[in-house]
Amino acid sequence: MSLRLGDTAPNFQAKTSIGDIDFYDYIDGKWAVLYSHPADFTPVCTTELGMTAKLKEEFEKRNVKVLALSVDSVPEHLEWIKDINETQSTQVDFPIIADEDRKVAELYDMIHPNASATATVRSVFVIGPDKKVKLTLTYPASTGRNFIEILRVIDSLQLTDEYQVATPANWEDGQDVIVVPAIKTEDIPGKFPKGYTEIKPYLRTTPQPNK
């Protein structure tokens, strides 16, 4: 059964490119991005892992640990990392899980038989410090992920986790946000002292509260 938003992300132990890990111990109360790729030494995945490495400081700034996964072995991962570093002009130092027995892939429903009976699809899980699944995305093998969008979503998740707001379409960090309907209009000034705009009774905006 696939994981749904709000479910507890399952713990697991695994061999990785940086050594053996326990997932819960590794994330250690931080946010986490766990994502899978179909196979090592494949072109789209090479660019994806390279981009993840290039965004290391952005993930760290958001208190996010990143883990990648495929069903290939640690020796294959280590050889492939050399290619990634060379072709993408970066340095991969986050763990790539070697899920040869498909244990993690099955826990997280990363194998979709209609797409491939053996390889993982491009799954993405954003997991909060409470170990709850906050976001899931699934891409076909032919389409590379937009990691700037993943960072944008993390900004939204972290903001809305702390404040009673939602983020509108195409929102980016620093822009106005939406006051959730559960807050009465008369209560907005006490919660959001920067002010608000009432566009409709159900659509009230306010400057981003943590900026």
Q: What is the CATH number of the domain that holds 191?
A: 3.30.1020.10
Q: What is the domain-level CATH number for residue 34?
A: 3.40.30.10
Which is the catalytic residue, given 14, 33, 45, 66?
45
User: Do 139 and 186 fall into the same domain?
Assistant: no
Q: Mean pLDDT throughout 107-126?
A: 72
**pLDDT at residue 118 above 70?**
no
Q: pLDDT tens digits, residue range 143-179? A: 999 999 999 999 999 999 999 999 999 999 999 999 9
Per-residue pLDDT, averaged over 21-32, amounts to 96
Query: Do 107 and 187 belong to one domain?
Result: no
Taking residues 122-142, report their average pLDDT: 93
User: What pLDDT score was predicted for residue 114?
Assistant: 52
52 neighbors 66 (Cβ within 8 angstroms): yes
pLDDT band at 117 (very low <50, low <70, confident <90, very high): very low
131 and 173, same domain (yes or no): no
Domain of 71 in residue numbering reads as 13-144
pLDDT tens, position by position, 31-78 = 999 999 988 999 999 999 999 999 999 999 999 999 999 989 999 999
In a domain, 176, yes or no: yes
- Do 127 and 170 belong together in one domain? no
Do 81 and 133 lie in one domain? The reply is yes
Q: What is the pTM of this model?
A: 0.92
* 2: confidence class by pLDDT, cuts 50, 70, 90: confident
Q: What is the largest CA-CA distance in the chain?
A: 61
Q: Are residues 79 and 175 in the same domain?
A: no
Within this chain, do residues 73 and 112 fall inside the same structural domain, yes or no? Answer: yes
* Known catalytic residue at 106: no
Query: In the sheet that 165-166 helps form, which strands lie side by side, from edge to edge?
Result: 165-166, 177-179, 203-206, 197-200
d(CA 69, CA 67): 7
Q: What is the mean pLDDT of the chain?
A: 93
Per the domain annotation, does 153 fall within a domain?
no
For residues 135 and 182, membership in a common domain is answered with no
If asked whether residues 44 and 137 sit together in one domain, one would say yes
Q: How many domains does the chain have?
A: 2
Q: What is the pLDDT of residue 113?
A: 53
For residues 94 and 82, what is the distance between their CA atoms, to the nearest angstrom?
13
Residues 200 and 169 in one domain: yes
